[in-house]
């Protein structure tokens, strides 16, 4: 810690929270004591600074969500029996749209549901394996690290829609994929191979990203830990299993969570690579979008609500069961105190997290 000119014994060195309630008092300009800033004035400033963002998010996220919930209870505009014209209002149908999902429109829904789940499990699984392997290689490579880092960012920077087209071209019946395989596969037509095409394209685009996040996690592991392990006689495999994996776990968990949630809403890639309304690759997002663009807002909203709940449950599961620390705040108030030191003392802190 850098020495400050403030004499010892001021509020700074006391337990956090000591200065918490002193409203109106000028904030003690003391390092290491965040609580000293927590005056009524800073609360007001914070409210002022945070409210625009919250307002915008309320308008673009909360309000549409409530609208979707409401919309999912309404049916399509029908013919008005009195006038013979299409009625201007949508009839309230209660839970009919949801009932249809498990009944009349069930086949298409369950197909999309399983496609979404299948894509998520398989792509995230493969991405994690490839990503971790990439990270380990990058971590070892001292020469050429800049080259790798630059090239790893390229799949990430290619817009998903463009990569959909690119892979569509590669998987063309006369394309390079078949030329390499020496075998004619109609990749982008209906069937299991269409799923494989989507998975390959998705894994290409996103595993470097996992690699990047894991690499960042690897780089904060202090070398001393490995030295100690070597002295204790741990082989490379033992070091990986006992040190690397547990220490990199927080970063990996967050990366996998983000990738899962991203894969659950997959849209662009199957839509462009194979096409809309293709049974073998239709995801829940594609189904909802397709219904909405065909002006069947009620069912579309119902699909969207179900997808939302699905995503929410998975996220909750990650945070609750696996303890993914998404906010990056450490979690418990005790850890929060050491937050400002975190940047400087990376190693010991991450060791503490995994302990």
Partner 1 sequence: MTTTAKWRTWLLYAGVAAVVAYCLAPFYWMLVSSLRRTSDIFDTSLIPSSVSFANYRALFDPAQGFTRALLNSLIVAGITTALALLLATFTAYAMARLEFRFKRLVLTLIIATSMFPVVSIVVPLLKLFTDIGWINTYQAMIVPSMSFVLPLAVWNLTTFFRQMPEELEQAAMIDGCTRGQAFRKIIIPIAAPGIFTTAIITFIAAWNEFLIALTMTNKPSMQTAPVAISKFTGATTYETPFGSQMAAGVLVTVPLVVMVLVFQRRIVAGLTAGAAK
Chain positions 301 to 320 lying near partner 1, rule: CB under 8 A, are 301, 304-305, 307-308, 311, 315
| Distance from C-alpha of 218 to C-alpha of 214, rounded to nearest angstrom | 6
Return the beta strands (E) in the chain as ranges: none
Chain centroid offset of residue 167 CA: 23
Residue 282: CB minimum distance to partner 1, A: 13
Contact pick of 112, 254, 274, 281 for partner 1 (by CB under 8 A): 254
Beta bridge pairs of residue 74: 92
Cα-trace Rg, the chain: 26
Residue 148: CB minimum distance to partner 1, A: 6
Q: Map residues 4-33 to x or -, x wherever contact with partner 1 holds by CB under 8 A.
A: x----------------------x-x-x--
Q: Map residues 176-205 to x or -, x wherever contact with partner 1 holds by CB under 8 A.
A: x--x------------------------x-
Residue 323: CB minimum distance to partner 1, A: 14
Which residues, 6+ apart, have CB-to-CB distance to 200 below 8 Å?
167
In angstroms, the first-to-last Cα distance of the chain is: 24
Q: Which one, 86 or 326, has the nearer CB to partner 1?
A: 326
Q: Which one, 199 or 307, has the nearer CB to partner 1?
A: 307
Residue 213: CB minimum distance to partner 1, A: 4
The count of C-alpha atoms lying within 13 angstroms of the C-alpha of 226, restricted to the half-sphere facing its C-beta, is: 14
| Distance from C-alpha of 95 to C-alpha of 74, rounded to nearest angstrom | 8
- 174: closest CA among 161, 166, 183, 165? 183
- 156: closest CA among 180, 120, 131? 131
How many residues contact partner 1, by CB under 8 A?
116
Task: Examine residue 278 and tell whether it contacts partner 1 (CB under 8 A).
Answer: no
| Distance from C-alpha of 118 to C-alpha of 307, rounded to nearest angstrom | 14
Task: Examine residue 345 and tell whether it contacts partner 1 (CB under 8 A).
Answer: no
Contact pick of 86, 95, 129, 141 for partner 1 (by CB under 8 A): 141
Residue 122: CB minimum distance to partner 1, A: 18
Q: Which one, 81 or 355, has the nearer CB to partner 1?
A: 355
Chain centroid offset of residue 89 CA: 38
Task: Examine residue 237 and tell whether it contacts partner 1 (CB under 8 A).
Answer: no
Residue 16: CB minimum distance to partner 1, A: 10
């Amino acid at each position: 810690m850098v020495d400050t000119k403030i004499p010892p014994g001021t509020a700074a060195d006391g337990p956090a929270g000591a200065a918490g309630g002193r409203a109106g008092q000028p904030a003690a300009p003391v390092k290491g004591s965040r609580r000293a800033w927590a005056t009524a004035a800073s609360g007001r400033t914070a409210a002022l600074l945070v409210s625009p963002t919250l307002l915008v998010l309320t308008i673009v996220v909360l309000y549409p969500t409530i609208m979707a919930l409401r919309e999912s209870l309404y049916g399509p505009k029908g013919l008005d029996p009195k006038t013979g014209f299409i009625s201007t209002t949508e009839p309230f149908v209660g839970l009919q749209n949801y009932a249809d999902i498990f009944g009349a429109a069930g086949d298409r829904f369950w197909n999309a549901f399983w496609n979404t789940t299948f894509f998520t499990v398989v792509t995230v699984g493969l991405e994690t394996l490839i990503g971790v392997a990439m990270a380990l290689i990058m971590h070892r490579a001292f020469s050429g690290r800049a080259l790798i880092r630059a090239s790893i960012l390229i799949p990430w920077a290619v817009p998903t829609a463009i990569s959909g087209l690119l892979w569509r071209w590669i998987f063309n019946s006369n394309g390079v994929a078949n030329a390499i395989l020496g075998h004619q596969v109609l990749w982008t037509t209906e069937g299991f191979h269409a799923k494989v095409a989507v998975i390959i394209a998705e894994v290409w685009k996103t595993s470097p990203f996992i690699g990047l996040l894991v690499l960042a996690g690897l780089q904060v592991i202090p070398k001393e830990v490995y030295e100690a392990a070597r002295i204790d006689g741990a082989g490379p495999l033992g070091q990986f299993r006992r040190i690397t994996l547990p220490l990199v776990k927080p970063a990996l968990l967050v990366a996998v969570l983000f990738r899962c949630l991203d894969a659950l809403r997959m849209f662009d890639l199957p839509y462009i690579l194979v096409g809309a309304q293709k049974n073998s690759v239709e995801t829940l997002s594609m189904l909802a979008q397709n219904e909405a663009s065909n002006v069947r807002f009620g069912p579309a909203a119902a699909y969207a609500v179900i997808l939302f709940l699905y995503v929410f449950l998975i996220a909750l599961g990650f945070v609750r069961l696996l303890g993914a620390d998404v906010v990056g705040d450490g979690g418990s108030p005790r850890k929060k105190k050491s937050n400002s030191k975190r940047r400087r003392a990376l190693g010991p802190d991450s060791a503490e997290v995994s302990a």
